[in-house]
Amino acid sequence: MKAFRHQKIREIIEKEPILTQEALADALRQQNIEVTQATVSRDIKELMLVKITGEDGLTKYALPQEKEAVVAKSRMERLFKDTVIKVDYSENIVVIKTLPGAANAVASTIDNARWPEIIGTVAGDDNIIAVVKPKDMVAQILARLQQMLM
Q: CB of 111 within 8 A of CB of 121?
A: yes
C-alpha 81/C-alpha 64 separation (Å) is: 25
Report which residue type is found at 91. E
C-alpha 108/C-alpha 103 separation (Å) is: 8
- Work out the number of other CB atoms within 10 angstroms of the CB of residue 111: 16
Residue range 87-128, pLDDT digits in tens: 999 999 999 999 998 998 899 889 888 889 999 999 999 999
Domain boundaries, the chain: 2-62, 73-149
Report the pLDDT value the prediction gives residue 68, as an integer from 0 to 100.
Answer: 45
Mean pLDDT of 28-43: 94
Report the pLDDT value the prediction gives residue 84, as an integer from 0 to 100.
Answer: 96
Report the pLDDT value the prediction gives residue 111, as an integer from 0 to 100.
Answer: 86
Could you say which architecture CATH assigns to the domain 2-62? Orthogonal Bundle (1.10)
Tell me which fold the domain 73-149 belongs to: Gyrase A; domain 2 (3.30.1360)
Residue range 39-61, pLDDT digits in tens: 999 999 888 888 888 778 888 99
Shortest CA distance to 140 belongs to which of 114, 112, 118?
A: 118
